[in-house]
Structure 1
Amino acid sequence: MKEEKKKIQTYFSITLGLLVLSLVYTLSIMLIDVRPIGPQGSVVGFAGMNQYFHTLLSTNMGLYDLTDWLSIPVLLIVPGFAITGLVQLLKRKSLRRVDSSILILGGFYVLVFSVYLFFEFFVVNYRPVLIEGVLEASYPSSTTMLVMCIIPTAILQFQRLISHKNLRSIINAFCGIYAGLMVIGRILSGVHWITDILGGILLSTTLVMLYYSADQWINSKAHQNHKQ
């Protein structure tokens, strides 16, 4: 019991550390080496590093379009788990009987999309290229953040929902490779500054760790109540 409690405290401590790191990183982008190197004179933090990688990678709009299209199946995972929760609700006839991990996942999705919307209005960086003539917000890379939030939490769900070990391993491996290729594709497309991609990875890691910590805590509470 004490060991389990200590583990959960460690998870939340890691989450807090990641949150602080995310805030420091975001503030650093807003304050360090800020120069007007973007389109229409838009200013960018860590300008030297960002300009170097953007010149190195250039821009590949075909890859940008491809990763946009490939993000659609990832987004469809969200209603997929919503339907799973609804089916459990209809079968079990009580919200309390729906798997706690599914309910926490629903709250997690709300948080992720809230963070996405926040950065759409609170602009840290604009893109290094115009998209159809429009200067769009670029930090964090929304595609990177959504992929790296949705796929890892889906893998955690599949660990519970898919009983066949080999099938589960194949699906989770595919999901991991898919997420990795999406992030690499987004980097090579050159439609984000490199710091925006790194910010997407860091923020998604923080959010996923928060989900995992909350899930483990709720499960621990449920096991304690069951024993009593």
Structure 2
Amino acid sequence: MKSRKSFVVSGVFALLALILIILVKNVDVAVVPETGKPMGFYSINTAFHNIFGINIIWYKITEIFGILALLVCAVFALIGLLQLIKRKSITEVDPVIIKLGCLYAVVIALYALFEKVIINYRPIIMPDATEAEASFPSSHTMLICVVMASTIMVIGNYIKDEKLLKLLKICCAVIMVVTVVGRLICGVHWLTDILGGILISSALLFLFKGIADKDLR
């Protein structure tokens, strides 16, 4: 029953993400003068963007957290690799590790997809680029939310000390919140980019929870 509810909630978030994509492509579309690229929800996005402007410090902070998220992925990959070497069969690797790897793979696939199927462009042309890059959904938001939230779900399988476990879960939650807020106010994404990243992440996380529920402690 719990798994079924997770799948339903996942489907709701996926539908909301799809609706947002359709709306962004069709509602209040106008050209951004700074980039020369079209952008949906122009009035809302530009109004919000103008409140905070460009904040490079927050951009760098969120970049660091993004690297940290990749390191977390590497740790779980290493756990899986060591289990594979020791147990000599992929079927003997913890199911939660396999499913976590699949979750990461889906995030990578979605990142590649939205680099080709461009929904929105960044508000600015980045210093190392010649033109505005794709910005929907915020890949940093998606990465951090998926990695940190899924870590909160699975870390109890590997950390038995209750105090350490609680501390690590709090750290993951703080990193997730700070990164999403930081990405929102640093000025390299539109409001709808962040919202899209949150909706897609939520869909993936509830799907993962439904699939891996029996393996979680």
Q: For residue 43 of structure 2, what is the aligned residue in structure 1? A: 48
User: Where in structure 2 are the equivalents of 1:25-174 lying within 5 Å?
Assistant: 25-132=20-127, 133-174=130-171
After TM superposition, the structure 1 stretch with the greater mean CA deviation from structure 2, 27-36 or 86-95, is 86-95
- Contact map agreement 2:118 2:134 (CA 8 A) in 1: yes
Q: TM-score, normalised by structure 2?
A: 0.94
Q: CA deviation at 1:60?
A: 1.1
**1:39 aligned counterpart, secondary structure:** coil
Deviation string for 1:79-127 (max 9, x for gaps)? 1111101111122222212111100011111111000110111111001
Q: CA deviation at 1:37?
A: 2.4
Q: CA deviation at 1:69?
A: 2.6
Q: CA deviation at 1:65?
A: 2.4
- Separation in 2 of the partners of 1:56 and 1:111? 34
Letter in 2 for 1:13: V
Letter in 2 for 1:27: I
- Separation in 1 of the partners of 2:35 and 2:151? 39
Q: CA deviation at 1:184?
A: 1.1
**1:43 aligned counterpart, secondary structure:** strand
Letter in 2 for 1:32: V
Deviation string for 1:154-192 (max 9, x for gaps)? 111212110111110001101111111111111110111
**1:195 aligned counterpart, secondary structure:** helix
Q: CA deviation at 1:219?
A: 4.1
2:205 aligned to 201, 204, 208, which one? 208
Of Structure 1 and Structure 2, the greater helix share is in 1
Q: CA deviation at 1:47?
A: 0.7
- Separation in 2 of the partners of 1:169 and 1:20? 33
Q: CA deviation at 1:38?
A: 5.0
- Contact map agreement 1:125 1:137 (CA 8 A) in 2: yes
- Separation in 1 of the partners of 2:98 and 2:119? 32
Q: TM-score, normalised by structure 1?
A: 0.89
Change (3 A) 1:186 1:151: same
> What 5-or-longer segments of structure 2 have no aligned partner?
none
Q: For residue 224 of structure 1, what is the aligned residue in structure 2? A: none
Letter in 2 for 1:148: C
> What 5-or-longer segments of structure 1 have no aligned partner?
1-5, 221-228
- Separation in 2 of the partners of 1:189 and 1:125? 17
Q: CA deviation at 1:39?
A: 2.6
Provide the alpha-carbon RMSD of the alignment. 1.5
Structure 1's consecutive aligned runs of 4 or more residues displaced over 6 angstroms after TM superposition are none
**1:36 aligned counterpart, secondary structure:** strand
- Separation in 2 of the partners of 1:215 and 1:196? 28
- Contact map agreement 1:71 1:147 (CA 8 A) in 2: yes
- Contact map agreement 2:123 2:188 (CA 8 A) in 1: yes
Deviation string for 1:37-93 (max 9, x for gaps)? 253321111111001101111111232123213311111111111110111112222
- Contact map agreement 1:38 1:44 (CA 8 A) in 2: no
Q: Quick one: percent identity of the two aligned structures?
A: 34
Change (3 A) 1:38 1:151: farther
